[in-house]
Amino acid sequence: MKVAVYCGSRSGNEPLYAEKAKELGEFFGNNGIDLVFGGGHVGLMGIIADAVLASGGKVYGVIPEHLRDRELAHTGLTELFVVKDMHERKAKMAELADGFVALPGGIGTLEEIFEVWTWAQLGVHQKPCAFYNVNGFYNPLLEMVKTMVATGFVSQQYLDMIVLAQTPTDLVDGFRAYAPPQEKWA
């Protein structure tokens, strides 16, 4: 299995975020799960990539030229795909991975997970999407989506399709048990 991880290009201000990213990376490496990620060496991105590599796993990075040129790319990856722009990057990551998860992060992380979540809703792919909810990080966001369901903008099934994980085992079990929702406009 290849899992795309979207996560902060910073590490946050609590050591727990880095610890949980490292733990997840080690679990991937020890269980034959390959990592697909944004290709950077900074923040939680660098931490999880290093952890997967150090535990013998494979790591595929997908980085746009302009970030590579600023020397932000991780140089020790199994393979680094250098793409033209952010659009190509997201498409390539989505093609390579069998499932997607957001760890704590910022605006970039949200944008990436919401895109693949939207694609799942439209039936563009049938792959699972997850939030790795370290210390309740994503609770306020999930509350917002619950408001969208309550106000009739989102069907309950598109909230229910999300794998909400707090441990590596939750994540992988949730991915393995995943059944895609009905397409929105089918």
Residue pair 25/55 in contact (Cβ under 8 Å)? The answer is yes
Which residue, 42 or 142, is less far from ligand AMP as judged by CB? 42
Q: Which two tokens stand for residue 51?
A: 């952890």
Select 9 or 121, whichever has its Cβ closest to ligand AMP: 9
Please give the C-alpha separations between residue 63 and each of 70, 81, 88, in angstroms, as whole numbers: 11, 6, 9
Residue closest to ligand AMP when measured from CB atoms: 108
Half-sphere exposure for 30 (CA within 13 Å, toward CB): 9
Inter-residue contact 24 to 104 (CB < 8 Å): no
Length of the chain, in residues: 186
Q: Specify the residue, 78 or 155, whose C-beta has the smaller distance to ligand AMP.
A: 78
- Please, which residue, 42 or 91, has the CB nearer to ligand AMP? 42
The residue behind tokens 């201000």 is 13
Query: 108 or 174: whose CB is closer to ligand AMP?
Result: 108
Give the residues lining the site for ligand AMP (CB under 6 A): 6-10, 38-40, 42, 45, 63, 67, 72, 105-109, 112
Query: Minimum distance between the CB of residue 110 and ligand AMP, rounded to whole angstroms?
Result: 7
Shortest Å, Cβ 45 to ligand AMP: 6
Strands 34-37 and 2-6: parallel
Q: 10 Å Cβ neighbour count for 160?
A: 9
Query: Minimal distance in Å, beta carbon 183 to ligand AMP?
Result: 27
Q: Which amino acid is at 25?
A: G
